[in-house]
Structure 1
Amino acid sequence: MSWIAAGRGGGDDISPFFPASSGLSVRLRYLFLVATIFGGSFIIISLSNYTNILFLENEVQLGISGSSMDIHQNLETYNDRFTIRTKGCSIPALHPYDESIKRFVEFPRGMKQCPNTNKSLLNNNRTHIWVLHENKKHHNISDERIFSCCYRAFSRPSAIKDIESSGIDNRVQYKDCVYFDNYIKATDEFVRVSCHFDRIEVYQQFFLFAPPKKFMSHGTNEWAGDKQAYNVLIMGIDAVSRLNFHRTMPKTLKFFKNRGAVELLGYNKVGDNTFPNLMPLLLGYKDSELKTTCFPYEQSTFDNCPFVWEWFKQAGYYTALGEDSSSLGSFNYFKKGFSHTPTDYYIHTFINEAEKNTGKIKDFNSYLCMNEKYFFQVLLDYIENLTLTLKSSKLFAFFWEITMSHDYLNYPMVMDTSYELLLNKLEASKYLHETILVLLSDHGIRWGNIRSTKQGRLEERLPFVYILTPHSFREKYSAAYSNLKLNSRRLTTPFDLHETLNDLVDLKNIENENIIFRGDNTYATKRGISLFMPVPDNRTCEMAGIDDHWCTCHRGKKLSTDSSDALEAAAHLVRQLNLLLHVHIQCAQLSLAELMDITEMEVGTPSEKEIGWREFMVTVRTLPGNGIFEATLRQTGADWKLAGTISRLNLYGNQSRCIHNYQLKLYCYCK
């Protein structure tokens, strides 16, 4: 279809055939001209294709939030039969507005807004907090003489003695009040302000600042490392598939496309939820490997794990870690977090206090608002402020948004304009001239009606990744950048991003001559391959460390749910669920209520098939609780085993309240 895009702007040549007054667009007139030349039979096919393009163009331009983007940049992505097609992996191309998906996509008009949005009693900038006197009337403040506000700084104390292990990452220490009635200079990182009228608290809010800090290795806040180094800024959005990002955040998408960011079209998740997809990115390990490396038991903290930010800290970077939820945090959801502060800037302490004291609008799993302000906006404002604070230094930062996107397919639409605004500010400040920016997700939405569709199943396994590099990087490290673009259409994983970050610690790794030298090594056989090296064309899910259950390269054939193979597979899946739960007597024994779907997967080489194994993807509903579970099972003769973990496709709510293991909560129905 590239010839259609090429016809744009060619209207002067074909206008004699179809005058402008005819009402036909230039591109449609061009189609008629081609049909006239090549014969009438062609016009039927062309008009059919053009109708599809018009539909797609209208969907994307109208979007769901009303922004536009150049559809011709996306024709190849949306209209190819395959998103990637290599010797080792073929991933089918999916239309973002496929008929099976369209009905689920709508702006979340029923979503509750943060309360009292225009009635805040306080406001702030990067250095001060002040009273909005015009809003006192909303808080029944009528007499200035008996009104005052208490500024209380708080922090995470360094001492951990006498702190229970369950709250070691949530420890907090408050300073005494400093009173003001008009404005106050903010000299602290975390601040709680409460305002009183006639000795009664009428308002409180939390404020997050990014003050300069002395870097531990050389005692200053000035950059003392490699002058050619780049900031590395990673911004994650939880539970958004690649195509749902296209549907729900078109303004943010347009920003990255217009600046030549590389999109990883074959980025495949390697685990079920957030944790098993972030550990390969941040540590290079599968979550199942942590027990033998740095996280030996459930009550451990993560202090002994060699996170990627440690590499950058040793290279002289400031480091930052922040999520916009404490209760659902990647390191805190039924986990202990960190006993020692992991990075130079670490906002868990702030988010935890703000969530407990001012969390509003709990929309299923998470609080959306910090009083009148969205938590995701708190995170974005902090990113902007931190980049301004450390503009003369170098920063490695990992930020993760959870609150808005975790539970609902369409809520990211609410964030689109805010993300675009932040990105434009970073560009205007020239911060992006010296920064490698990665915007990514961990997986698509894992439950709900869309997940019951074939496309929804694939989308859940295909999150998005955009990597935006400065022009100076593209020129100086041209071989590495060419490989990055090549890998856009190769099978990639979080393990690869981990190796890519490793290369950015020391840029000598990716100088042109070193890229060529490394090509002679056995890098291509590793589970994780730096995206600055060419990912092999013959790479399979097995080579990339992707379990068959998560692999999107495999094709399948539907089977009858009444077949003996289907019933045997379903029975084995339920047995596996009960085996996982057997030591937890508070969980009910599950039984098969319905075999909902079974597909035989085309996996393995002919020689492997001769051994006699088959794989089935099975979906069942169990009782009690009506849990819906999906798993891939491998059959070898009479033996069955899981090929990966078991997914839960519907929400469990309070059904699992009696168990505190983050993995088993998916399966347990409390007696």
Structure 2
Amino acid sequence: MGRFSGGSVYKTASMPIRLRCLFLLATIFVGTFLFVTIRNISDIKSEFIATSWNHDKDYGSIAENDYTIKTKGCVIPSLKPFGDEVKQFAKYPTKFKPCPGPELSLLGNNRTHIWVRNDIKEYYNIRNDTPLNCCYTAFFRPLSVDDITASNIDNRVEYSECKYFSDMIKATDEFVRISCYVYYTIVYQQYFLFTFKKEDANESNEVSPNKAAYNVIVMGIDAVSRLNFHRTMPETLSVLNKKGAIELLGYNKVGDNTFPNLIPMLMGISENELKTTCIPNKKSTFDNCPFIWEWYKQAGYYTAFGEDSSSLGTFNYEKGGFIKTPTDYYLHTFINEAENNVGVNKDVNSFLCMNEKYFYTVLLDYIENLTLTLTENNFFGFFWEVTISHDFVNYPMLIDKDYADFFQKLDASNYLDDTILFLVSDHGIRWGEIRTTNQGRLEERLPFVYILTPPSFRKKYKNAFDNLNANSRRLTTPYDIHATLIDLLHLEGIEDRMIDLRSNQSNPKSKGISLFLPISVNRTCASAYIDDHWCSCHKGHHMPTNSKQSLEIAEILVKELNKLLKGYSQCALLKLAKLLEITALEISSPESDEIEWREYMVVIKTTPGDGLFEGTLRHDGYNYWSVVGTVSRFNLYGNQSHCIHDYLLKLYCYCE
């Protein structure tokens, strides 16, 4: 089967030979055509640095009577991965600069040792008679804190004394830096990561491992919509489909970027609720926040949290990070040191490589090694890839094979027999030419989610699994993922008899509904806690961009942006350069005692800086206007906002 061909399986055994031949020829022709179309190597534009708005939009890729989900509460139109609006953007990334090949690594390693590769010395101009000394230095995150108010407290690190070797050395530490010298000159440096079992990690927890429990692993790939996952990661998709993973077709984001979509998943609350829960001010750390891994820790699980970027870390980018180590295995210390010392190939926002190793493969190897180390223990892990997928819509093509191979290795080791796996994203790509299309706008709001359960789970918790399957065509959110993770801690609560009992109950304290319970067909964006600005269920009609009313509404959006920047004198006053599009949204009719309010989705270009913004404005029926949700920006701001360190206001500020 071609790499980008479909996954349907047809029975041909009963066909006549001639018909089978025709079928085979047709299959080869179609598969070849798709392969050539997608892999057509052409120059990739810098597709989100200077974006032009497409005025002649093609609405043909949205079929009038075809729907992704269609319930009483929500209708999302059906879109094709290679619909007319977006197929032109699906191009293999030819300008990607790869890491130096692993064949150039002076050192080799496995799970226990590091050694010098004598066969590669010649590449570094090291003769056999030239003395080569390598320094093994362990480093770690110290428990003691010198300054609890320091802004970089999560980056603290200590290095141990050097241990020299010239051939091979046994690894005895979690994080290791190796520097190799010829005489007094460093000729090679690399960082190594090991997953030794931490026997004291659960010593304060008297709960013994629950052999009936399942491991739970959540893996994220940043900024990939459901349809872009189909376009760019077909091999991984095929592996998941063959294993029977459930795809959530109506999974809708609840915030703009990564942070407001992961907070509901990890804590069950909104970003706005953090202030009253655990983050009273912008300098606060996240140590007192109710992360889901704390619940798993209390249940006797080993816990892990890892991202393949430090600079773009979910809790570190313009945020306070952690004082305490949040999980038993915490990758931030390692990635931060590697990024700062051997990070190479910076592409827009991220270092892609740790010398000759991709950071995303470091993360995948780390997860695999943790599963091997903790085979006899219950394990909860939350991992996030950002370096490759964050900035370019087609870059996930580059990681597809490695992810497919990773899941196949987990399967071959039988680890998936005892594991619930969530493969998720936070949102679709938020900028670039594809974002200026109707399909691109919808894709941004509909990230992918796959949930893979083992056969034993499907059999023992039949009603729960049946509900999960049915909910694949319901409106769902990150809050629901959190509720589902809670349920996996208490498996007795998802036994058939309990599912029947709980199905008729509601939990007013929770924003989410476990995916093991039936989600109502009446569910709307409002009842699912999705702001109208992010809601994929709304319909609307375009208004003329040159009318007086439209331009007045556009000016209101600019005014709202300037309100956000009030008090930041270093940011320029924004002005309307152009109204690109305005849509009057069809919203629910008001109750008899309510004043009818209206909503408008507005797309504008501002000056200075040529920022492209999309916001939803609500008029209350009197004279009051308000922004619904947050205002999106879908071209990169680069260094325009270097003078401000608020992660949200960076979207809007143009430094004078």
The TM-score normalised by the length of structure 1 is 0.90
Cα gap change, 1:635 to 1:78, in 2 (>3 Å)? closer
Cα gap change, 1:416 to 1:59, in 2 (>3 Å)? farther
Cα gap change, 1:133 to 1:7, in 2 (>3 Å)? closer
1:654 deviation in Å? 0.1
Q: Which runs of 5+ in 1 are unaligned?
A: 29-52, 67-76
1:609 deviation in Å? 11
8 Å CA contact 1:233, 1:435 repeated in 2 = yes
Report the more deviating stretch, 561-570 or 92-101.
Answer: 561-570
Structure 1 counterpart of 2:52:
none
1:216 deviation in Å? 3.9
Structure 1 counterpart of 2:453:
469
1:642 deviation in Å? 0.9
Aligned with 1:649 (options 621, 634, 655): 634
1:384 deviation in Å? 0.6
- Report the residue type matching 1:25 in the other structure: F
8 Å CA contact 2:305, 2:382 repeated in 1 = yes
Instruction: Measure, in 2, the Cα distance between the counterparts of 1:255 and 1:147.
Output: 45
Structure 1 counterpart of 2:23:
25
The equivalences for 1:175-190 within 5 A come to 175-190=160-175
Matched, 1:284 2:257: no
Aligned with 2:12 (options 9, 12, 25): 9
Structure 1 counterpart of 2:557:
573
Aligned with 1:544 (options 524, 528, 541): 528
Matched, 1:156 2:141: yes
Cα gap change, 1:340 to 1:562, in 2 (>3 Å)? same
Structure 2 counterpart of 1:621:
605
Aligned with 1:322 (options 284, 306, 330): 306
Instruction: Measure, in 2, the Cα distance between the counterparts of 1:626 and 1:56.
Output: 42
Matched, 1:668 2:646: no
Structure 1 counterpart of 2:3:
none
Matched, 1:172 2:164: no
The equivalences for 1:132-143 within 5 A come to 132-143=117-128
Q: Secondary structure at the match of 2:635?
A: coil
Q: Secondary structure at the match of 1:419?
A: helix
Q: Secondary structure at the match of 1:100?
A: coil
- 1:619-663 alpha-carbon deviations (Å, 9 max, x no partner): 000000000000011122332111110000100000000000000
8 Å CA contact 1:632, 1:642 repeated in 2 = yes
- Report the residue type matching 1:471 in the other structure: P
Larger helix share, 1 or 2? 1
The TM-score normalised by the length of structure 2 is 0.92
- Report the residue type matching 1:150 in the other structure: C
RMSD: 2.4
Aligned with 2:215 (options 217, 231, 235): 231
8 Å CA contact 1:8, 1:26 repeated in 2 = no
Instruction: Measure, in 1, the Cα distance between the counterparts of 2:267 and 2:129.
Output: 55
Instruction: Measure, in 2, the Cα distance between the counterparts of 1:498 and 1:307.
Output: 10
Structure 2 counterpart of 1:244:
228
Instruction: Measure, in 2, the Cα distance between the counterparts of 1:144 and 1:102.
Output: 58
Matched, 1:112 2:97: yes
Structure 2 counterpart of 1:211:
196
Taking every aligned residue pair, what percent have the same amino acid on both sides? 57
- 1:363-400 alpha-carbon deviations (Å, 9 max, x no partner): 00000000011000000001110100000001000000
The equivalences for 1:389-404 within 5 A come to 389-404=373-388
- Report the residue type matching 2:546 in the other structure: D
- 1:59-92 alpha-carbon deviations (Å, 9 max, x no partner): 76668469xxxxxxxxxx9997100000000000
- Report the residue type matching 2:23 in the other structure: S
- Report the residue type matching 1:190 in the other structure: F
Q: Secondary structure at the match of 1:643?
A: strand
Q: Which runs of 5+ in 2 are unaligned?
A: 1-7, 41-61
1:207 deviation in Å? 0.4
Aligned with 2:434 (options 447, 450, 462): 450
Structure 2 counterpart of 1:267:
251
- 1:437-462 alpha-carbon deviations (Å, 9 max, x no partner): 00000000000000000000000000
- Report the residue type matching 1:105 in the other structure: A
Cα gap change, 1:63 to 1:308, in 2 (>3 Å)? farther
Matched, 1:376 2:374: no
Structure 1 counterpart of 2:59:
none
1:527 deviation in Å? 2.4
- Report the residue type matching 2:465 in the other structure: Y
Aligned with 2:415 (options 410, 431, 437): 431
1:163 deviation in Å? 5.6
Instruction: Measure, in 1, the Cα distance between the counterparts of 2:597 and 2:14.
Output: 59
- 1:498-539 alpha-carbon deviations (Å, 9 max, x no partner): 000000111111111111111221248952100000000100
1:218 deviation in Å? 3.6
Matched, 1:522 2:520: no
1:563 deviation in Å? 1.9
Cα gap change, 1:584 to 1:55, in 2 (>3 Å)? farther
1:606 deviation in Å? 5.5
1:12 deviation in Å? 3.1
Number of equivalenced pairs: 627
8 Å CA contact 2:202, 2:302 repeated in 1 = no
Q: Secondary structure at the match of 2:238?
A: helix
